[in-house]
A and B are shown apart, each in its own frame.
Chain A
Amino acid sequence: MAYSETNPLAENFGFDIGGPLAAYWIALLRVITGWWFFHAGVTKLLTDGLNYTAGPGYLKGMTGTALGGLPVWMGNNLAWLIKPGVPLFEALIGLALIFGVLTRLAAFGGVFFMSLFWVGNAGFGHGVVNSDLMGLMLFMTVIVFAAGRYYGLDAIIEKTRFVKRHPRLRYLLG
């Protein structure tokens, strides 16, 4: 084990990225982020079922944003997908993160959702760094650290023969 003579406290108090505390913390971060989205999705399912009409309306109202006409086009043309998709995908993204299954793919979905929320809510009264951007950054952190490998099922899935035969799948897992 590395030991620094100049800083004897480093051995006991250093938070190494490969250390046990970091692994616990990344796993906890993943589960909390997952619960956040699962809660958002499942409560929509309980109240609106698969007919979340506020979704397309929200996108139609996203005029004059950095995303140009894309959200409005989605609201007008993809309502058939958005109404069931918002609650369903939110819940599935949440479950995937909680259990650490296809974590990076799910977190990518979270980034997509949060990009729309961040730009669409446009609650920039206290600056562009708001809770929506922080949520987006949480999902990015989950992707970058491959958070599903820490106490998540992706750690097991990645050891299967199928994934070993197709190693690029690890970009979507982990």
Chain B
Amino acid sequence: MTLKDMNPIDRAVMLVSTGLMFVGIVVLGVVEIAAGEPYSAAPVEVTNEAGEVVNTLYPAVDPNIRTGLVIAGLLILLVWSGYKLATPVSPPPTEERTTSETV
């Protein structure tokens, strides 16, 4: 089965849920790196030689936004699984016979 063979709901769920996770982790991760230090999703304290905190660097993208996007993707999959449980099971697709033979 290819993406084209999927019904529109299944296809939309797959693309949107994985898309949200991809944006949350990879796309915003690239944005975070491009924005400069601290290069992490958590604040980093800058200390002087005496060990005193002189500055705190915050990530360019709030980690709540990134984790929120991933959670949203998972929630869509959860709702979809409920939908799949509630709808009748479709019969397996009939296999097409091909005359050509793979060498």
B81 in complex: contacting residue of A128, A129, A171, CB < 8 Å: A171
Q: Secondary structure of the B side of the interface? A: helix
Sorting the interface of chain B by its residue count into under 10, 10 to 19, 20 to 34 or 35 or more gives 20 to 34
B42 in complex: contacting residue of A118, A119, A122, A129, CB < 8 Å: A122
The reply to whether the CB of A127 lies closer than 8 angstroms to some CB of chain B is: yes
| Nearest CB of B to A151, in Å | 23
Using CB atoms, name the residue of chain B closest to A130: B41
What are the residues of chain A within 8 A of B41 when measuring CB–CB?
124-125, 127-128
The reply to whether the CB of B56 lies closer than 8 angstroms to some CB of chain A is: no
Sorting the interface of chain A by its residue count into under 10, 10 to 19, 20 to 34 or 35 or more gives 20 to 34
Using CB atoms, name the residue of chain B closest to A170: B89
Which residues between 32 and 69 of chain B lie within 8 Å of chain A, taking CB atoms?
Answer: 40-42, 44, 59, 63-68
Residue-wise interface mask of A (119-139) relative to B, using a CB-CB cutoff of 8 A (1 in contact, 0 not): 100111111110001000000
The reply to whether the CB of A67 lies closer than 8 angstroms to some CB of chain B is: yes
The reply to whether the CB of A17 lies closer than 8 angstroms to some CB of chain B is: no
A128 touches B29 (CB 8 A): yes
The reply to whether the CB of B71 lies closer than 8 angstroms to some CB of chain A is: yes
The reply to whether the CB of B94 lies closer than 8 angstroms to some CB of chain A is: no
In the complex, what distance in Å separates the CA atom of A138 from the CA atom of B100? 39
Interface residues of A (CB under 8 A from B): 2-3, 5, 64-67, 108, 111, 115, 118-119, 122-129, 133, 140, 167-168, 171-172
Ranked nearest first, the 8 interchain pairs of A and B with the lowest CB-CB distance are A124-B41, A66-B68, A124-B42, A66-B67, A66-B64, A125-B42, A167-B89, A128-B41
Sampled A-B contacts (15; CB under 8 Å): A5-B103, A64-B64, A65-B67, A66-B67, A66-B71, A111-B74, A122-B63, A123-B42, A124-B41, A124-B42, A128-B24, A133-B25, A167-B89, A168-B84, A171-B84
